[in-house]
Structure 1
Amino acid sequence: MKRAILLVLLLAVAGCGGGPRPPRNLDNACLILNERPDIARATRQAEREWGIPVHVQLATIHQESSFVHNARTPHRYALGVIPLGRQSSAFGYSQALDGTWDDYRDATGSRRANRTDIRDATDFMGWYMNRSVERLGIAPDDARNQYLAYHEGHSGYARGSYNAKPWLLRVASRVDERAEMYERQLVGCRR
């Protein structure tokens, strides 16, 4: 009897799903937005509010979390076995760091914002990238440089810290290519 109750409880917990699933086809912006209308609404709202195009947001989310709502950085280990904690505090769709997330919540008055909520994550990205426009002069649709500023922070971007990271320059180029692909697809699916 106890085993039956435990089995029912286990199945009930497993059936909760743990949150929204990532879209099935991450290579097609139209399918992403059709499958997940919450992502469509959130990215369009952030575009209206902050001026950052949907395709730039989608490409950045793809790179940062692959649309996994509760994505976290990997753990670090000493001697390969002793856990030292996570690589950073980056979390959620946007992989926002704790301090930057707090800055966003203070600046926007969004004290209840949650990094696992796609609306809050895209609003955060719009806010941050809009600051990159204002502070660094990066065009809203320049996915490559928006991503570099997003990854390195405004001060790091201004110093050109990314130039010492060939791997990051390659990642930023891939984000830019994906943003261009998403932009072409979105033009086609809006017809």
Structure 2
Amino acid sequence: MRGVWYRRSAGRVQAGAVLVLAGGLLAGCATAPPRNPNNLCSIFQEKRSWYHAAMRQEAKWHIPVSVPMAMMNQESSFRANARTRRTYILWIIPWGHISTAYGYAQAKDEIWHDYQRQTGAGGSRTDYADALNFMNWYITNSRKVDGIPVTDATRQYLAYHEGWTGYRRRTYASKGWLVTVARKVGHRAQQYQQQYDACKDRLKGGWWENFWDWLF
């Protein structure tokens, strides 16, 4: 009897290990950056949960998904745990200020906490849907505070990078590199929108996929 019990227990342990390993692999796939980050259709085809989250938020915020996605690409390259790296002098002496920017949206601690207080949202900066919601909230406030259209990804990115006060003070004017990056974001948003317009009908899942997404 002891031998039978031992074999059964060992089988359960092995099965459990397989499930843990499979779960870890699935989690890794879920947080890995998209294979083709320059094509919005490919991103949403690969990451169906991102697509459904983006569609819910586009309906909620009335902001074209191409805008926050272009900004997110620039900020984190769609990496969940992206952080600002410290620079070193002679590879030994740490130099410069370390930003608290973190996650998909590269949201800093202070503005993330402001977002949570104002919206009552919890969430995590390493969760795609939460980070996208934060970016849509910020874009909405950039329109309210600085009058920037939600479709203007170039100016929206400048406000995102410099802050609402910094944008009004035109602090970006002395940063040629930032203006260049912002124009790059604007161009990518236009490309994303063109790509999405061409594939949005194909992206719509079947009734079972959409029901499952609505359910959860």
Coarse TM-score class (shorter-chain normalised): 0.7 to 0.9
**TM-aligned CA deviation for residue 132 of structure 1:** 0.4
Count of residues in Structure 1 that have an aligned counterpart in Structure 2: 179
Match of 1:52 among 34, 53, 63: 63
2:43 to 27, 32, 49: 32
1:78: how far off? 5.0
Counterparts in 2 of 1:138-153, with a 5 A limit? 138-153=148-163
Q: CA RMSD in A?
A: 2.0
Q: Which residue of 1 aligns with 2:100?
A: 89
Question: Counterpart of 1:25 in structure 2: which amino acid?
Answer: N
**Percent identity of paired positions between Structure 1 and Structure 2:** 45
Given candidates 136, 140, 145, the residue that maps to 1:126 is 136
Give 1:152 deviation, angstroms.
Answer: 0.5
- 1:85 CA drift (Å): 7.9
**1:43 shift after superposition:** 2.0
Q: Which moved more, 1:40-49 or 1:100-109?
A: 40-49
Counterpart-to-counterpart distance in 1, 2:171 and 2:42: 36
Q: TM-score, normalised by structure 1?
A: 0.87
TM-score by length of 2: 0.77
Structure 1 residue runs of 4+, over 6 Å off?
none
Q: Following the alignment from structure 2 to structure 1, what is the Cα–Cα distance between the partners of residues 45 and 116? A: 29
Bigger CA radius of gyration? 2
Distance 1:69 1:85, change over 3 A: farther
Runs of 5+ consecutive residues of structure 1 not aligned to the other structure: 1-8
Paired residue for 2:11? none
CA distance in 2, matches of 1:85, 1:137: 33
Deviation at 1:173, TM superposition (A): 0.5
Distance 1:86 1:72, change over 3 A: farther
Q: Secondary structure at the match of 2:88?
A: strand
The AA in structure 2 aligned to 1:135 is: V
